[in-house]
Amino acid sequence: MSFHRRMVMALCLALAFWPLSAATAFSRTVTDQLNRSVTVPDKVERIVVLQHQTLDLLVELGAADRIVGVLQKWPSLIPGIDKYAPRLKGLPMPGDLSTVNVEEVLSLKPDVVFVTNYAPPAMIDQLSKAGLAVVAISLSKGEGVEAPKLNPTFADDDYAYSEGLKNGVKLIGEIVGESARADKLIDYAFAKRKMVEERVGAIGDADRVRLYMANADMGTYGSGKYTGVIMKRSGGVNVAAGVRGATKVSMEQVLAWNPQVIFVQDRYAPVADEIRNGAAWQHIDAVTKDQIYITPEYVKPWGYPLPEAFALGELWMAKKLYPDRFADIDMQKEVDAYYQQFYGQAYTGPN
């Protein structure tokens, strides 16, 4: 065999094995919150995000400029986030929490696709088989069959969401190369949370305020959701704790619970007036005493937690319930400090 032919064959062999060696050299394996092993590039420059909590976290981690595709329902699920990342408004929307257009995702050439833990397995499988790095985020510590559920059952809701939030934020930070910022976000959130705990933790169950989270169309959050955790952490009791997950309840149930305070998420703000003006609601303590509050956007009393909820939401709620215990707290200052550090500008919404 001539020298020339030997060189050509050697070059062909090198090229044949190059993709494998390159992939090994420039990628890493992470474990997502469904306990799946996922290979992602060392450097993530293009992101498709099909979960609203992860979208918020990417903005807080300073990675918004790398997002190339977002979930379709983000404007209603996480209103106001575009104030801190204006470019989100013009991005393609190739899917949602439970649906996806794989061809459109592929056209965006993402390095990673973030989905929610309860995305249909077929959706995750379809994306993965297309050669995409798919990372599932739950921000909760679900084990086994509970991990992929929208309404999971935990032995301890508080522990599941506290540890799950830490793990999720660290995972996202690691993937996008913002681990140091992720650690700061976690430390900040848990430090503020500790301050609230020190002020309301000793309140006995009999003395805690009875709370109800009113969503649209008689929806609410029961046990197994972060909403119950934020209520307890703020010194209250979720009257709907006896039902599971995100669910609809009857007016008769709410009348029997007779909450002292009703909270309405900012994304469902019209519900507050529906309650104030609804004849059936007029016998409930929260209505007769005008204790109905729309949560500001930073509270995020959703089914799944975010650092803002730990750092600001629990504080805001506790101050509403026990103003004397938090008379020294200026929420505008608290929120501005957080938003300046993690969103890069002062908070501009209601308190």
The answer to whether residue 13 scores a pLDDT higher than 70 is no
Q: Is the Cβ–Cβ distance between 229 and 306 less than 8 Å?
A: no
Question: Would you tell me how many other CB atoms lie within 10 Å of the CB of residue 102?
Answer: 16
Mean pLDDT, the chain, rounded, equals 92
pLDDT tens digit sequence for 319-329 = 999 999 999 99
What does the alpha-carbon distance between residue 270 and residue 229 come to, in Å, rounded to a whole number? 24
What does the alpha-carbon distance between residue 88 and residue 343 come to, in Å, rounded to a whole number? 14
Q: φ and ψ at 349, to 5 degrees?
A: -90, -170
pLDDT tens digit sequence for 203-255 = 999 999 999 999 999 999 999 999 999 999 999 999 999 999 999 999 999 99
The answer to whether residue 11 scores a pLDDT higher than 70 is no
What does the alpha-carbon distance between residue 286 and residue 275 come to, in Å, rounded to a whole number? 10
- Please tell me the pTM assigned to this model: 0.89
What does the alpha-carbon distance between residue 142 and residue 153 come to, in Å, rounded to a whole number? 8
| Confidence band of 5 (pLDDT split at 50, 70, 90) | low
| Confidence band of 1 (pLDDT split at 50, 70, 90) | low
Structural domains of the chain in order of their starting residue, each with its CATH number: 26-150 (3.40.50.1980), 191-342 (3.40.50.1980)
pLDDT tens digit sequence for 57-82 = 999 999 999 999 999 999 999 888 99
Q: Name residue 248's beta-bridge partners.
A: 219
Helical ranges in the chain per DSSP H:
3-25, 52-60, 74-77, 102-107, 121-129, 157-175, 179-200, 226-233, 251-257, 270-277, 285-288, 307-308, 314-321, 331-342
